[in-house]
A and B are shown apart, each in its own frame.
Chain A
Amino acid sequence: DAKTTQPPSMDCAEGRAANLPCNHSTISGNEYVYWYRQIHSQGPQYIIHGLKNNETNEMASLIITEDRKSSTLILPHATLRDTAVYYCIVRAPGAGSYQLTFGKGTKLSVIP
């Protein structure tokens, strides 16, 4: 799986948009970008994933650059409950790519 690079930490004011960047310059054509988050002392929670088009769901939006070498996760209106470590993971979706490999992620702190 392609390696990703994320800033170790970010702050965001409550109610504002949180934009979390991720670099994945070695991504392959069949690899998706996945985002998970882990709130303290809980299991990781799936947020969103995409291949090349921008994606949006009830939790977040995912913006992938045209060359697919980087992406941004957007939480449109951050709340205190969004404080967590956010992981950007790149992997192929097929059965042969079994496990998710977690890097260090970005620790997002939402500030009142």
Chain B
Amino acid sequence: GAVVSQHPSRVICKSGTSVKIECRSLDFQATTMFWYRQFPKQSLMLMATSNEGSKATYEQGVEKDKFLINHASLTLSTLTVTSAHPEDSSFYICSARVLRAGVSYEQYFGPGTRLTVT
């Protein structure tokens, strides 16, 4: 249980175009999903917290108009990188939160999406 998928796994796009990444919780409902970004040889950095049916909360320094997040259902969140530039090339990872045993929240991660902007 607690499987999170991402699509696509890899995408190459030209500078100036937009790219959408999907994150799905396959066997559970997630009211909260998170988007992380990871540059080579660095750790994961949280970009935003996405709550179903409401606006996402962005971390400091993350442009909300550039990284559009939609969490329209309990199993799907999308991240759209608008007007992508080469410096947006990175590994994007989503995770979903689930309540376990009515006590603690656990986070499960998707496999990641490698974005390359040329």
Chain A residues proximal to chain B, CB less than 8 Å: 32, 36, 38, 41-46, 49, 87, 93-95, 97-105
- Chain B interface bracket (under 10, 10 to 19, 20 to 34, 35 or more): 20 to 34
Q: Using Cβ atoms and an 8 Å threshold, which residues of chain B touch A49? A: 106
Task: Check A46 against B107 for contact (C-beta < 8 Å).
Answer: yes
Task: Check B93 against A94 for contact (C-beta < 8 Å).
Answer: no
Chain B residues proximal to chain A, CB less than 8 Å: 4, 6, 32, 34, 36, 43-46, 49, 91, 93, 95, 97, 103-112, 114
Instruction: Given A41-B114, A99-B49, A102-B44, check contact A32 B104 (CB 8 Å).
Output: yes
Query: Which of these, A44, A94, A103, A104, contacts B109 with CB under 8 Å?
Result: A44
Query: Interface on chain B toward A: helix, strand, loop, or mixed SS?
Result: strand
Instruction: Given A102-B43, A103-B43, A105-B43, check contact A94 B112 (CB 8 Å).
Output: no
21 A-B pairs in the complex with CB atoms less than 8 angstroms apart: A32-B104, A41-B114, A43-B4, A44-B95, A46-B107, A46-B108, A46-B109, A93-B103, A94-B104, A97-B105, A98-B32, A98-B97, A99-B34, A99-B46, A99-B49, A99-B107, A100-B107, A102-B43, A103-B43, A104-B43, A105-B43
Task: Check A42 against B32 for contact (C-beta < 8 Å).
Answer: no
